[in-house]
Amino acid sequence: MPSRLTFLCGLTVLAGAAGCGPDAVPSPSRPRAVARPAAVDEPEPAAPPAPVKPREITFDDIKLDMQKGDPFSRDLLPKRVTALEQTPVRIRGYILPSFQQTGLTQFVLVRDNQECCFGPGAALHDCVVVRMRPGRTANFSIRPVAVAGTFRVDELRGADGRHLAIYALDGDAVE
């Protein structure tokens, strides 16, 4: 069975001190090397992606070359509009009034509050149907608001089959 001294000499050798034997005593003046485990190459945790700043757009940016009441077809969409598909945008306008004033999960954002731009005969490019993302809501305001979200071309038709709206926004925030 190994003696206690043999065990201590083994530790001293592992620690890098020289000289083992029955008379060996570690020298307090000699620094001891400390054995460290080899470094493991662990990838650093990836930083969360920076939030994408929404592109500022106006109703003029999504305007179509058509008159009120003209039939809509996707061929009328210019590249500047189709390029916005599925991109984060921020657009200013007015919330079309409804019976509900708070906790709105969906609403129509219109170009201005001077006249109703929604419904038969209205310019299709003057309104955006906003559906707030789950857990998010908006409150009605008579003042202009800025809505941030993901832009989509999404045709909404009335019971008669005519277009009521062609643009939609998956809403993230209303300011």
Does residue 37 contact residue 89 with C-beta atoms inside 8 Å?
no
What does pLDDT average to over the chain? Answer: 80
C-alpha span between 117 and 126 (Å, rounded): 6
Per-residue pLDDT for 22 more than 90? no
119 has a pLDDT exceeding 60: no
Selected residue with higher pLDDT from 122 and 59: 59
pLDDT: which is higher, 70 or 148: 148
Cβ-contact 123, 167 below 8 angstroms: no
Q: What does the pLDDT read at residue 144?
A: 96
For the chain, list the domains and their CATH numbers.
1-42 (no CATH), 55-174 (2.40.50.870)
- Structure confidence at residue 5 (pLDDT): 41
142, 158 Cβ separation under 8 angstroms: no
pTM over 0.75: no
Compute the residue count for the chain.
175
Per DSSP, 60 falls in state G
Q: Does residue 89 surpass a pLDDT of 50?
A: yes
Q: Indicate whether 47 pLDDT > 60.
A: yes
- Summarize the confidence of residues 18-26 as an average pLDDT: 46
Percent of the chain with pLDDT over 70: 69
Residues 147-165 as b or e (16 or more Cβ within 10 Å = b): bbbbbbeeeeeeeeeebbb
Q: Are 105 and 149 in contact (CB under 8 A)?
A: no
Q: What is the DSSP string of 74-143?
A: GGG--HHHHTTTT-EEEEEEEEPP-S--SSBSEEEEES-SSS---STTS-GGGEEEEEEPTT--B---SS
